[in-house]
Structure 1
């Protein structure tokens, strides 16, 4: 018997104004499928998610949910009650139906602690009010509230936004190990490859379906484009022949032309050579000179928190560096030092005389709302030379997803993602020889990301980029530098993988799980264990007492997990002997004793955790 879909979509159409986003779309989502949704900004990805979850009714067609479907939906904007605490949202019923009853029920559940640690909520605190939190922190709270609940289907709209590299790695590992269906809109290509088994592309009102994650989707889409081009070429050839035959009086038709197409060879026949780093550095050296940035013994603190501690860092012409680190480690601060927007408390930052830097911040700066897109670009420059290519403002705008018609749209009518693209485009048109990019992939769709990477690949300047997008980091940069929260800056020869290994080791050393251990992680704000030690001192515990308490906590966690497993087995036996009243009474007594033992262990865990 065929498995029943969790969600079935039949001939669904949706229009917003004059735009048709979904046109007679039919889909099915199975219970074990993990599907990534991709497409251009404004193509209808979020609309598709709202229709699938019944948050929005289609203009026509039908959406059917399996009976009793437990569904969790993370939207791009979340609204919580004004007086809610983090605890109320994640565990209580302030935003979703309550996940747990008494506090010891969730506190003793290892899965819940894994989610809280993995999303960095221990740095916020469960008793923190939600209202003053930043947008990124509120989204992490909302995501945690969904992950701790038992759902048959998770529908997530851009879940990796506001997560650092470590957080994205933890979330990917957690979702892969989770039971149930998953539907996720994301522009994070590494995440797509790591998590998704199928890909849906929303384009021109249709949803094209592909097997596999990002890499498989790119290959399949290229093959479809090649086949479409070959079909169009055949059609044009036939049309030309028909016209010629008509002019000649249409003699007897000859056999059709034969095409020998080898798909794999055709796909890679015109692949460009890898980036020539030596050549680009030589070109960069002629434009910039020998000195770009010399950071000498620089220190910077905010209050009692050390961001940089006597950091020395030299950046030369043509260097392409990525900066990674936990949230709050100082990545954006270091970038602003290079952009001369901040000054260190001690030490100095020397900037080369020929440096012409362009700094892209995480905020979308104000753009002239009355200008058209093309006018806003040409206001900066009309042409740009990248490598051996001479591009007009209109050509570059098209590369960044602004079609010929869209280039005449007033800036004030653009979406947030389009404004971000325009901001980046104007920076590039200024002809800088140094790019300082802080999370450049925010709000960019995959096609625009590919165009940006293609441009940066052949750009002969110095590049320093802060990004959680592993795909972009590994493609356009040559070295990875890490701020690990201790004020030091380290070069990682092993790249992102080495960074995650170091963070996992730091998490293990501080008594918190890392992203590669037990499916848990602590992506945000976890240092080298000093915060835990400080908490222990505040509680009046010596170092030896700290170690003993941590061992006891670990023992209690193992004990609670074993007791929970025994409870599950007892429930199965109760169901098996439901008609044997004597056996049921015996098993019920054993179950009550087991529950009392578990509650005592959970109470001990709660009391001990307050001191550690």
Structure 2
């Protein structure tokens, strides 16, 4: 018997139908991948299945006593001193009457938090978006419901966490437990899903197998649909010609044919066309020099954290370099070092000649929140020039799925996906022979992601790419740079799959759960600074205090970056966002000044 059945379901958002006579059933033991374009209503459907939203019309039947657990896209954790207490409240574990079962769940929760690299005694108020997502997933797998609903569970997760999530979903969901997951990670869908359900123009279509099996069948289906529509349109056009013939023809026409034409008109009017796709074209500009970047002895540390040490490599024209590694490994820092936006502690980066650089940063800091969408693309003009061709800004924005009414909307009111598309539109509006893309796939649906992939595959310039999307990396890059601990980075030929096959056993070790506050106090030794007579008493005290001060600044910087990376961050007030950006700039300056002062005092000591 099906766990949950949806029939003749109708749901609309304003005048936009999200579900239109939709039908779906979830069977025990299934792992369903729910896919569809952004804005089609996938999250709304998950909310309906979870019982958090009602249908406008139609029926939903649940198996008696069905236990469902829903992990939303941006999980909210109840206020509590620790992750453990917050999740106990979120999962309502205290209400369980069976004391033995309750204590089993407590122990299982601690175990799962550790598996997701979280300290059960950590403070949830300081958690980043990724940490909140991992905490909510740890609770979900602790409760082990009959039906688990996951909305974009791979968002904010690095490759290691995604791999762990995959293994749990595939290998540990047993005893007839089922899963419905929304994700744009095609490798995840290939490794986990037993069925793909696509939400397209209000209708739910089911495809057995994983994402690769879906792709093969969908291509054939779209071709058949296009052929059928061409036949329909041709027949309809012929009937319209017939009805408009002269008086003699109208005398002889039969009423049955007229009624059939009226039915054809109704059917054509009710047809819902597929949503448009973004249209990408990159102007590669002039050829750069043969050597794009030459890195020699590059080193950079933040306090005791060594990001990179003695790195040597050369980036040649036409190379497609992927930077991979866990969150916090230093991928974005390495990009800033290469581009000269951050000063190294040692070594140098020599950029090549005739470079035209387009840089996509994961925090979208290059977008002015007070400007309109049109001003962002063409400041002071109504036109942009793409590859030598002049194009009106409204038409160009249409290529990135911005309707004319959105052209004068301020950037501050855009969603994460819209900001991503706007930044891509801005980057591709200018010629560039070096594309530097830091997490460009965030918030893109699968169709847009694949189109970006195809566009980059035919791009003749040089690419530096940071992404946690394994399929995207495999299809775009030709070499990979990966961290191997203690600031060492190693170059591999090929994409993610080649790195995965060749990586050393100890590569990307699982991080230990962050220590509790009490453990930190016990473990942290006091800074011992040997001082020479050259330092004054005041300077000695200053040098002794610097490590702790810098550690606090770096912690604040890390927390602020994590908060600004969250999917819901764009909904915050503009003044708060501006204050955060201003504070981030100030922190970078304070940290740089702090290290400079530390070096100065250490040299005197």
Q: TM-score if structure 1 supplies the norm length?
A: 0.70
Contact 2:117 2:512 in 1 (8 A): yes
Give secondary structure in 1 for the equivalent of 2:124. coil
Q: 1:183-194, aligned counterparts within 5 Å? A: 183-194=180-191
More displaced stretch, 40-49 vs 363-372: 363-372
1:587-606 CA distances to partner (integer Å, 9 max, x unpaired)?
Answer: xxxxxxxxxxxxxxxxxxxx
Aligned mate of 2:385, from 379, 383, 386: 383
Q: 1:189-204, aligned counterparts within 5 Å? A: 189-204=186-201
Give structure 2 stretches of 5+ with no counterpart: 253-281, 525-605
Q: Which residue of 1 aligns with 2:459?
A: 459
Question: Measured at CA, do residues 166 and 399 of structure 1 come closer, stay the same or move farther in structure 2, by a change above 3 Å?
Answer: farther
Contact 1:437 1:466 in 2 (8 A): yes
Q: Which residue of 1 aligns with 2:130?
A: 136
Question: Measured at CA, do residues 422 and 360 of structure 1 come closer, stay the same or move farther in structure 2, by a change above 3 Å?
Answer: same
Deviation of the 1:215 alpha carbon:
2.0
Contact 2:68 2:149 in 1 (8 A): yes
Give the Cα separation in 1 of the matches to 2:30 and 2:351.
Answer: 52
Aligned mate of 1:169, from 158, 163, 170: 163
Contact 1:89 1:145 in 2 (8 A): no
Q: Which residue of 2 aligns with 1:342?
A: 342
Q: 1:200-599, aligned counterparts within 5 Å? A: 200-239=197-236, 287-365=287-365, 367=367, 373-374=373-374, 376-379=376-379, 382-385=384-387, 397-402=397-402, 411-493=411-493, 495-497=495-497, 499-500=499-500, 505-506=505-506, 522=510
Aligned length: 479
Give secondary structure in 2 for the equivalent of 1:460. coil
Contact 1:289 1:317 in 2 (8 A): yes
Deviation of the 1:176 alpha carbon:
0.9
Give the Cα separation in 2 of the matches to 1:212 and 1:102.
Answer: 36
Give secondary structure in 2 for the equivalent of 1:325. coil
Aligned mate of 2:149, from 148, 155, 159: 155
Give the Cα separation in 1 of the matches to 2:225 and 2:142.
Answer: 45
Give secondary structure in 1 for the equivalent of 2:48. helix
Deviation of the 1:284 alpha carbon:
7.1
Deviation of the 1:321 alpha carbon:
0.8
Give the Cα separation in 2 of the matches to 1:486 and 1:392.
Answer: 51
Q: Which residue of 1 aligns with 2:15?
A: 18
Q: 1:43-54, aligned counterparts within 5 Å? A: 43-54=40-51
Give the Cα separation in 1 of the matches to 2:240 and 2:129.
Answer: 62
1:513-567 CA distances to partner (integer Å, 9 max, x unpaired)?
Answer: xxxxxxxxx4x5799xxxxxx99x979xxxxxxxxxxxxxxxxxxxxxxxxxxxx
Question: Measured at CA, do residues 408 and 22 of structure 1 come closer, stay the same or move farther in structure 2, by a change above 3 Å?
Answer: farther
Contact 2:325 2:483 in 1 (8 A): yes
Deviation of the 1:89 alpha carbon:
3.7
Q: TM-score if structure 2 supplies the norm length?
A: 0.71
Q: Which residue of 2 aligns with 1:256?
A: none
Give secondary structure in 1 for the equivalent of 2:73. coil
Tell me the C-alpha RMSD between the 2 structures.
3.6
Question: Measured at CA, do residues 199 and 408 of structure 1 come closer, stay the same or move farther in structure 2, by a change above 3 Å?
Answer: farther
